[in-house]
């Protein structure tokens, strides 16, 4: 039987470099250097497998609507999307970081409603609601650390890894929201219709994750 076409959505940006060796372990290798190309769709060493290379935040949307069968994205992006229609079979253990609430190091407790600047609007809403805390959320697209300095917000919700960006801007981490790493996701239609093709890929990538962990 002819193999079905399979499309894998990859997040461009910081996780792409760490993603490719895991796919290579599953013997899926791009036909050309992704980093040197302006293309959005890439052939691989398999006639029936293609990569689409898109913004991290668009990966769950592509997979949810079947524009791609599988994808790789950060847990932060998946949480913000909500995960509807996505099955998450594998933690790739790359791009590890934390989602935190942060504020200015000398920040006083806020009286009344806090204003929170973030690009993770849904995550922030859910987190503060769980804390029983009423907040106003301001959506930003980057450089969240600037918002408390300029008086735009009392706190931010952002990714923290080394803490260097916070420190460099006079901020400190305050509350932990979640541990983050990149995940492999599969869309519901692909899970049903392409299970035989997808399962060995998950298994081989899973082995690569273990090998990587054990050094
Ligand atoms: P977009 O281009 O869609 O705005 P982005 O700029 O947030 O996305 P990247 O900076 O490439 O995308 O980050 C991709 C993923 O890497 C994030 O979703 C997160 O899971 C993880 N990440 C972000 N910052 C760090 C960090 N400092 N250390 C480790 N992992 C990180
Ligand atoms: C991410 C995140 C923080 C920083 C945290 O930014 O938004 O600003 O990393 O890492 P640290 O704790 O090790 O300093 P990134 O470098 O991806 O830039 P961008 O999101 O603004 O593009």
Q: Which residues are bridge partners to 11 per DSSP? A: 54
DSSP strand pairing (155-160 vs 97-104) = antiparallel
Q: What is the pLDDT of residue 106?
A: 86
Cα 4 to chain centroid, rounded: 27
Burial state string for 13-40 with b = 16 or more CB within 10 A and e = fewer than 16: eebbeebbebbebbebebeeebeeeeee
* Over residues 79-105, mean pLDDT: 97
Pull the structure tokens for residue 176.
């932990």
Cα 171 to chain centroid, rounded: 24
Give the binding-site residues of ligand 2, using a 6 Å CB cut-off.
14, 142-143, 158-165
Q: What is the pLDDT of residue 109?
A: 87
8 Å CB contact between 15 and 161: no
Give the binding-site residues of ligand 1, using a 6 Å CB cut-off.
11, 13-15, 55-57, 74, 76-77, 95, 97, 159, 161, 180
Q: What is the pLDDT of residue 104?
A: 98
Q: Compare 118 and 111 and report the one with higher pLDDT.
A: 118
Mean pLDDT for the chain overall: 96
Q: What is the pLDDT of residue 1?
A: 59
8 Å CB contact between 33 and 74: no
The pLDDT confidence band at residue 215, using thresholds 50, 70 and 90, is confident
* Over residues 128-153, mean pLDDT: 97
pLDDT above 80: residue 122 = yes
Where is average pLDDT lowest: 51-60, 105-114, 173-182?
Answer: 105-114
Provide the percentage of residues in the chain whose pLDDT is more than 90: 93
Task: Specify the ligand 1 atom closest to the Cα of 13.
Answer: 11
pLDDT above 80: residue 2 = no
Q: What is the pLDDT of residue 178?
A: 98
- 43/27 Cα distance (integer angstroms): 13
Task: Specify the ligand 1 atom closest to the Cα of 14.
Answer: 11
Q: Given ligand 1 and candidates 61, 62, 74, which is best to mutate, with the most ligand atoms within 8 Å of its CB?
A: 74
Q: What is the pLDDT of residue 46?
A: 96
Nearest residue to 78 (alpha-carbon basis) of 11, 145, 135, 173:
11
Q: Which ligand is nearest to the CA of 96?
A: 1
* Over residues 187-203, mean pLDDT: 95
* Over residues 186-203, mean pLDDT: 95
Q: Is 96 exposed, middle or buried (0-12, 13-18, 19+ CB in 10 A)?
A: middle
* Over residues 24-37, mean pLDDT: 96
């Amino acid at each position: 039987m002819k193999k079905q076409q399979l499309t894998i959505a990859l997040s461009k940006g910081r996780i792409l470099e760490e993603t490719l060796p895991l796919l290579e372990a599953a013997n899926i290798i791009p036909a050309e250097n992704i980093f040197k190309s302006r293309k959005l769709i890439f052939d691989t060493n398999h006639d029936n497998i293609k990569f689409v290379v898109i913004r991290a935040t668009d990966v769950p949307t592509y997979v949810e609507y079947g524009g791609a069968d599988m994808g790789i994205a950060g847990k932060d992006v998946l949480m913000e999307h909500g995960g509807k229609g996505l099955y998450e079979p594998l933690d790739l253990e790359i791009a590890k970081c934390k989602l935190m609430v942060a504020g200015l190091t000398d920040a006083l407790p806020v009286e009344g409603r806090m204003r929170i600047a973030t690009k993770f609007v849904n995550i922030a809403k859910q987190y503060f609601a769980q804390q029983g805390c009423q907040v106003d959320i301001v959506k930003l697209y980057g450089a969240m650390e600037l918002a408390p300095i300029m008086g735009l917000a009392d706190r931010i919700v952002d990714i923290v890894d080394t803490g260097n960006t916070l420190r460099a801007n006079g901020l400190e981490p305050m509350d932990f929201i979640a541990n983050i790493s990149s995940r492999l996701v599969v869309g519901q239609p692909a899970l049903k219709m392409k299970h035989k093709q997808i399962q060995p890929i998950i298994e081989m990538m899973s082995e690569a994750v273990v090998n990587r962990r054990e050094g």
